[in-house]
Chain A
Amino acid sequence: MRYSKKVMDHFSHPRNVGEIEDASGVGEVGNPVCGDIMKIYIKVKDNVITDIKFNTFGCGAAIATSSMVTEMAKGKTIEEALKLTNAAVAEALDGLPPIKMHCSNLAADGLKAAIIDYKKKSGLPCDNLKVEHSCCGGCGAAK
């Protein structure tokens, strides 16, 4: 199990770490039992994500995917951001070790949770939006 150079880059120099005090939306996925928690903050102006920050408790892959998703989402419209998937985030990092693909690859879901929160707070329709993976799925918490 070796991480790609891109994963190590994002892990050791994570982008957009922190919180946004007056965030338009906040999303959280994972839980302490499975060992990954991602919290994503977004600032939305005119339907565009103008700022995004994250806090993550988790392994190298969890931190790198969080960092990468913030980079990918910044400047995107809400519709564009909703198209980001966990798989796309992993791909942008030149892949993740197989064992990490499920357990620590939740960043796009974290972003989605933040967008849902933003829509609810702004009174916008959420349609059928839902977070697909809120947890690793294998830990005791999911059962």
Chain B
Amino acid sequence: MQEIYLDNAATTRVLPEIAQAMAKAMTENYGNPSSIYEIGQNAHDILDTSRQQVADLINAEPEEITFTGGGSEGDTMLLRGVARKYKNKGNHIITSAIEHHAILHTCQALEKEGFKITYLPVDKYGKVNPADVEKAITPQTILVSVMFANNEIGTIEPIREIGAIAHKHGVLMHTDAVQATGHVPIDVKADNIDMLTMTAHKFHGPKGTGAVYIRKGVKMEPLVYGGPQEHKMRAGTENTAGILGLGLAAVHAKKYMAEHSKQQIKLRDKLIKGILEKIPYTRLNGHPTDRLPNNVNVSIQYIEGEGMLLHLDMEGIAASSGSACTSGTLDPSHVLLAIGLPHEIAHGSLRLTLSEFTTEKEIDYVLEKLPGIVENLRKMSPLYQERKAV
């Protein structure tokens, strides 16, 4: 059966040339970057090169890049590290209701340490209003953390404006850019960002390797204690193969960003238009234009998401949903509830996320299969029967 992978917001396929280069690094360039002899220093060269490549992707300086084990680690490190370091200056942090759990659960943990967190609401498209950020700032505020783009509904946040407001009040600005990095242009200087989180596997690099950007002068407590690796912020022998893969993925993303995003926006909009036209009682979630080039998120009323995913899987299509069944909890996605969807509509959401490998033929195939799947599930849905009875 054909495999149509439309869950690239969950993770992406590693580029074959990156996987090969990583294998070579593990078997041939296996030294410890901290060792003084040749093979150690050769391994250290990987770190230097990758640090420059990652910095170039977001217009940072290489010494402002710290390698991590991925997105959740980066978010935890930055939020907790900054909060604990600046706690004598203030105990208030501002974030949004639609952040990834890596942010939200870190915030909840910080609340137990005595920090006060403001969770800003979003509008119906999932956007944070910069004016709300300004209103929430108090003399106790030390940090604002708002994601660059949302992982579920793809909405791109007004980070430059929010960062400007934070800076006007002398507050640090962090952005979780895990979904955005490598997909849309990011310029940490122009965008008023002091700290940023990214992870390689969302843009065709390996899992388990990420990076954080920490602007020069921003202080924080280390995540891992030990040796002097990674500016003493994250001790431990570096994952050189993963870091090599991250650097190569950054180069690839930067080089092809304009081309790939143009191609994906075309396919994305075709898929959105097709679903909304072919299937009644559907709506687009997230902003129609200020959204990631690869993100489609729709609510399909009167059915539940998991059933759709199972049927799509039988047709060879891999997708995702914000239903309770797929969230691993009893509640549907907090993002869909935050944009104002009632529970029963949030349960019927479908996320399809594209990549540079997605073809028009695949989009056409989804548009051919999905209406029948929805029709079958609706036929047995009491909610659909009741709607018809009205």
Contacts and interface: CB of A to CB of B under 8 A. Distances in A.
Contacts of B330: 34, 103, 136, 138-139
B310 interface: yes
Contact of B382 (A12, A57, A103, A139): A57
A55 B382 contact: yes
Nearest to B309: A60
Interface stretch (B150-158, B194-202, B271-279, B300-308): B300-308
A126 interface: no
Interface in A85-117: 99-100, 103-104
Nearest to B323: A35
Nearest to B330: A138
Contacts of B302: 57
B380 A56 contact: yes
Interface of B: 302-307, 310-311, 314, 323-325, 328, 330-332, 342-344, 347, 379-385
A96 to B, nearest CB: 12
B306 A99 contact: no
A28 B382 contact: yes
Contact of A60 (B307, B324, B331, B332): B307
A19 to B, nearest CB: 7
Given A57-B302, A59-B306, A61-B325, 13 more contacts: A11-B310, A32-B347, A32-B383, A34-B330, A60-B310, A60-B325, A63-B307, A99-B328, A100-B325, A103-B324, A136-B330, A139-B330, A139-B331
Nearest to A1: B328
Nearest to A53: B380
Contact of A140 (B311, B325, B343): B343
A17 interface: yes
A97 B208 CA distance: 28
A56 B324 contact: no
B303 A57 contact: yes
B338 to A, nearest CB: 15
A109 B49 CA distance: 63
A109 to B, nearest CB: 15
B332 A35 contact: yes
Given A11-B310, A60-B307, A32 B380 contact: no
Most central of A12, A57, A61 by chain B CB within 10 Å: A57
B349 to A, nearest CB: 11
Contact of A56 (B310, B323, B381): B381
Contact of A63 (B324, B331, B380): B380
A28 B217 CA distance: 62
Nearest to A17: B380
B382 A62 contact: no
B344 A32 contact: yes
Contact of B304 (A19, A35, A55): A35
Interface size grouping (class) on chain A: 35 or more
B114 to A, nearest CB: 29
Contacts of B344: 32-33, 35, 57
A118 interface: no
Given A14-B380, A39-B382, A138-B330, A104 B343 contact: no
B385 A55 contact: yes
A58 interface: yes
B325 A104 contact: yes
A4 B70 CA distance: 33
A63 B306 CA distance: 11
A29 B303 CA distance: 16
A37 interface: yes
Nearest to A60: B310
A35 B343 contact: yes
Contacts of B380: 14, 17-18, 54-56, 63
A63 to B, nearest CB: 6
A41 B314 CA distance: 29
Given A14-B380, A35-B323, A136-B330, A58 B304 contact: yes
B382 A37 contact: yes
14 contacts: A12-B311, A14-B380, A32-B347, A35-B304, A38-B382, A56-B382, A59-B323, A60-B306, A60-B307, A62-B304, A99-B328, A100-B325, A103-B324, A139-B343
